[in-house]
Amino acid sequence: DAGITQSPRHKVTETGTPVTLRCHQTENHRYMYWYRQDPGHGLRLIHYSYGVKDTDKGEVSDGYSVSRSKTEDFLLTLESATSSQTSVYFCAISESTLRGPSSYNEQFFGPGTRLTVL
Amino acid sequence: DAKTTQPNSMESNEEEPVHLPCNHSTISGTDYIHWYRQLPSQGPEYVIHGLTSNVNNRMASLAIAEDRKSSTLILHRATLRDAAVYYCILLTSARQLTFGSGTQLTVLP
């Protein structure tokens, strides 16, 4: 299994408080992703990173920010959590390029963080 | 964005083959077809991918229609541990995985 850990694994917080989720990898993969998954739905991409200090928005980026100061760590921050951000958050890593003719972009996923915003 | 259509749920008996269909009528020539699965309380895991030709690996086989507008994931002998949500995904030129709702596979003992 790919070496991906997420912390915390569970968190309960209140509306309006800041929250930071951490994704840590030991694979030295270049690409890292944050997804959220809500009941009855597939995963939706929040933000992704294609290198240290290089990040871009995904499908549902409003209300979230990210940072990547080291290859192994990708942080997801909710500046002011809202109840609509209650979800399970998954981090993923990939070593293949986002833009290339032969990339198959296999992603390896972490165990997830269950966040509840009251 | 290119989209896929899958049945919401399917059932299979243990140790029998399972064919999971996926329609992707708007696929373009450079889109790869990927399958991931998500076991209960886990993150998704890669199963298989292909472009035009049928593909086999240790987990499954992928049969791609000649016109590429549909594909089928084949589990040759379903086990209880194969019970999961299976996602058919088109990897487009943006190279981002866009998950749909997937097919919930139930394996009956």
| Residue labelled with tokens 């549909």 | B70
| Chain A interface includes B39 (CB < 8 A) | no
| Residue B82, SS3 per DSSP | helix
Please determine, for residue A103, whether its predicted confidence score (pLDDT) is greater than 60: no
Residues of chain A contacting residue B98, judged by C-beta atoms under 8 Å apart:
45, 59
Question: Mean pLDDT for each 10-residue chunk of chain B (109 residues)?
Answer: 86 96 90 91 91 90 95 96 94 72 94
As a whole number of angstroms, the distance between CA A3 and CA A93 comes to: 10
Q: How far apart are alpha carbons B97 and A28 in whole angstroms? A: 21
Of A98, A105, A112, the CB nearest to B43: A112
pLDDT at B70: 95
8 Å CB contact between B96 and B33: no
Q: Per-residue pLDDT tens for A75-100?
A: 999 999 999 999 999 999 988 654 44
Q: Report which secondary-structure segment, H or E, holds B89.
A: strand B84-91
Could you give the angle at the alpha carbon of A88 between the alpha carbons of B1 and A39, nearest 5°? 70
Distances (CA, A) of B99 to A35, B37, B76: 10, 11, 24
Alpha-helical regions (H) of chain B? none
pLDDT at A4: 95
CA A51 to chain centre: 14
* Residue A98 confidence (pLDDT): 47
Choose from A104, A108, A113, A114 for mutation: most chain B CBs within 10 A: A104
User: Looking at residue B91, what is its pLDDT?
Assistant: 77
C-alpha–C-alpha distance, residues B107 and B35, integer Å? 18
B91: helix, coil or strand?
A: strand
CB B103 within 8 A of CB B6: yes
pLDDT of residue B1: 54
pLDDT (average), residues A90-115:
77
Kindly list the residues from chain B whose CB atom is less than 8 angstroms away from the CB atom of residue A112. Answer: 41-43
pLDDT tens, residue by residue, B77-90? 999 999 999 999 88
Minimum-distance CB partner of B44 among A41, A43, A101: A43
Joined tokens for residue B82: 């194969």
How does pLDDT run across A23-68, given as a tens digit for each residue? 999 999 888 999 999 987 788 999 999 889 999 998 899 999 999 9
The pLDDT confidence band at residue A101, using thresholds 50, 70 and 90, is very low
Instruction: Please give the order of strands across the beta sheet that includes B32-38.
Output: B9-13, B103-108, B84-91, B32-38, B45-50
* Token output for A64: 């979230």
Residues of chain A with Cβ-Cβ distance to B44 below 8 Å are 43, 90, 107, 109
Q: Which two tokens mark B56?
A: 């086999």
* Three-state DSSP class for residue A102: coil
Please name which of B22, B40, B29, B31 lies closest in space to residue B87, comparing C-alpha atoms: B22
A-chain residue closest to B96, CA distance = A98
